[in-house]
Amino acid sequence: MWRRVASLSSALESDLMQAATCGAGAWQRAFSSTQVEVEGFERKSHPFVAFVLGGPGSGKGTQCMKIVETFGFTHLSAGDLLRKEIASNSENGSMILDTIKEGKIVPSEVTVRLIQAAMEAGRNDRFLIDGFPRSEENRAAYERVIGAEPDMVLFFDCPENEMVKRVLSRNEGRVDDNMDTVKKRLRVFSELNLPVIEHYSIKGKLRKIDGTGSADEIFERVRSAVFAALREREER
């Protein structure tokens, strides 16, 4: 049974994985009166799941934090789950570590099973799955194992030059935060993720978010999209 979690998880960036907006005051007044409605949405027998996709520097990590804080989602990162499993020294974690050491890709089903276990172990019924699926093969494995599609796919659409500028300005000491590697990561993202984005666009589940502007400006767009998706789910 999916139950509401009392505390919110923090949003983390993954290193392994790669409606009309209102003014702030107007939205705050509107949201203060409708938040009870969001919290009061009938809980379904299966959770509300949102995939969050976007290239490096698209701002999805920041926006995930804001979604968690505002709507009470639990944030799940496939990369974080893989690292946690490896650190557990379990048989499964050892297999994952050996796979990575051999330069191989961790099977999609393994990652999906970790996501599934995290959702089942949690006491929430709203989940953000950050940076996954990264490919059509990932997507197919998720839907096969879970037996359902996501309720919504948030895609942060941001110009390449803006994403490169953001990554290079982070100054986080990452060895791959340089012009050549960032552009390579963006090419990989386009090749692998865009077919997934196109798939969910055809299915009517994609919410494309303009990723330009300040974090608060972007979140106004995100907030409208998430609220609409929750309302749509409630009305089914």
Binding residues for ATP: 57-62, 170, 213
How many other β-carbons are positioned within 10 Å of the β-carbon of residue 37? Answer: 13
Side chain identity, residue 102: E
Closest CA to 61 of 19, 15, 113: 15
Closest CA to 69 of 199, 226, 208, 228: 226
Q: Which residues does the annotation place in the binding site for CMP?
A: 138
Q: Which residues does the annotation place in the binding site for a ribonucleoside 5'-phosphate?
A: 83, 104-106, 131-134, 174, 185
Q: Count of H helices and E strands in the chain?
A: 9, 5
CA distance linking residue 222 with residue 210, whole number of Å: 9
Q: Which residues does the annotation place in the binding site?
A: 57-62, 83, 104-106, 131-134, 138, 170, 174, 185, 213
The CA–CA distances, whole Å, from 9 to 5, 64, 70 equal 9, 10, 12
CA distance linking residue 154 with residue 8, whole number of Å: 20
What are the phi and psi torsion angles at 90 (to 5°)?
Answer: -75, 170
